[in-house]
Amino acid sequence: MKAIIGEFLGTMLLVLLGDGVCCNVSLNKSGMKGGNTVHILIGWAMAVMVPAFAVSGYTPQSSFNPAVTIGAAVRTGDFSLVPGFFVAQMLGGFCGAALLMVLYGDHIKATDDDAVIRGCFCTGPSIRNTGLNFLSEFVATFVLVFTLANIPSAAGESNVSWILVYGVIVACGASFGGLTGYAMNMARDTAPRLAYQLLAPNKGKKDPDWAYGWIPAVAPILGGICASLLWNVLAGL
């Protein structure tokens, strides 16, 4: 139960800090509106690293991501933690987005474009191409999970691994972010997308875009599974 609570808190912090960067640079009247892609890259990578440090004492895996949790289960063969972690991560993502809507409530009211508001909470493709969009999220998450699997356990014990994760998130964002927004995480995209649909104001064209939204839900999980299967093969050589 302590680990499940840790996954909930960690995912809530991840979305609060990560989507908070997007709100900060995108919403009208924000003091940092107009921040650039480097701002977002650094902010999102820190949003992954900081919660890992914050709750690693409760949930040593500190995945905050169903793709990472399922990937770890594929490598170990132990799926007992997956259901509880999944629910905790999705609830954490929803609550983090809901809290942001309170914090940035005045700025959301001052922003007339529904698409801009939605973009603060979930991802979207720069060019809509279902196959390539799916592949982008698959490849980015494959890189993430395969790298995490190869970080030495001693690094995790000393918490150095979370600094290495920061580097992975920056690298994936710098290389793939312009394609789909590099969600790589159902709890970071699907849960806030649902929060946007249920809680955000309607400026006249409100659309959570579920026609695309299934991709950042499914592709990262498949990418994580394939990365872990490859790791298992290489570990057995």
pLDDT at 54: 87
Residue 34: the pLDDT is 87
pLDDT confidence of residue 158: 63
pLDDT value of residue 79: 95
Residue recorded with tokens 């191409």: 129
Q: What is the pLDDT of residue 153?
A: 67
One DSSP character per residue, 176-232 reads HHHHH-----HHHHHHHHHHHHHHS---S-----HHHHTHHHHHHHHHHHHHHHHHH
Report the chain (237 residues): mean pLDDT per 10 consecutive residues.
Answer: 94 97 96 89 93 84 92 95 96 98 97 96 97 98 94 68 87 95 97 98 94 98 98 90
Say what the pLDDT of residue 78 is.
93
Which domains are present in the chain? 2-235 (1.20.1080.10)
Q: What is the pTM of this model?
A: 0.94
Determine the distance from the C-alpha atom of residue 56 to the mean position of all C-alpha atoms in its chain, rounded to a whole number.
Answer: 17
